[in-house]
A and B are shown apart, each in its own frame.
Chain A
Amino acid sequence: MSRSGPWRVDRAVTAGSDADLLGRLRAADPAAFDAVYARYRAPLHSFLLRLTGRRWLAEDLLQETWLRFARHAVDLPADTPLRPWLFTVARNAFVSHRRWALLDADRLREVGLLPGRRTETPFELAAASQTERALEAGLAALPVAQREVLLLCAVERMEPSEAAQVLGLRPEAVRQRLSRARSMLAEHLGRSERPRP
């Protein structure tokens, strides 16, 4: 886990804006691919790991995302916003996995075939402080619709218009969902902070 957020560091040290890199990628420049990969690998992995809660699955979906990117890179329109595009592909890979995973643990829990107690996510296990652990646990306990909007807008700091592209919603709907997600998370944190009788 990295505290500084690797993509923020990489953005500074890797030459070229997303638009420049995309222009070079359209000419199939492997160095441009490597730069995009270095810039967005960790944020995409974190996003997928917080969505799935399982490291192996996040890695599978991450690979799927980058293979799809490599397949389409030369065809992408020059004005494609790279970050929302990549997160859209990652999210679609996750949604598609959920659709086909008939024995998904979340679903079994929803229909009562698994006990309600969930296991800790890799982020919770590696949390540096009690607050961080509580936040990770709160995020993991949210329904997927609320979790993904928080991950995009609050953790990745996307604008609602960018998050709207990723989620296939209108920006207004994203704001509403974000507000609801924040309340649910705050409520969860309030419950976990309260001393148990």
Chain B
Amino acid sequence: MKSPDDLASQLGALPTSDVGDDVARRIQGRARVVLGREARLAKRPALRGASRLYDGAVEPALVAAACFVYLWWALDQTMAVFR
């Protein structure tokens, strides 16, 4: 059984793992696009509020509503086959 100090130093010496260059560049590029957009929006608070509302509430609600309507239609069509 190892002592807590031994264990802590061994855990602290475990290696780190980085993503590959391509993945790192892709994530950085996407994040910088978002950062640039946020910086532009920061100068126009009203537009920023509207953008947040759209991204956080309107768009998810539209997607959920579209899924619901499609499911309803699919169920209706399926039941029509057996009617």
Contacts and interface: CB of A to CB of B under 8 A. Distances in A.
A74 B38 contact: yes
Nearest to B24: A41
A69 B31 contact: yes
B32 A33 contact: yes
Interface in A22-58: 28, 30, 33-34, 37, 41-43, 45-46, 49
Main secondary structure of the interface of B (DSSP, over half): helix
Contacts, number: 112
Interface stretch (B11-19, B60-68, B70-78): B11-19
Interface in B1-35: 1-2, 4, 7-8, 10-12, 14-19, 23-24, 26-28, 30-32, 34-35
Contacts of B10: 131, 135
A67 B19 contact: no
Interface size class on chain A is 35 or more
10 contacts: A1-B16, A2-B17, A28-B42, A33-B35, A59-B27, A62-B19, A71-B34, A74-B35, A155-B11, A186-B2
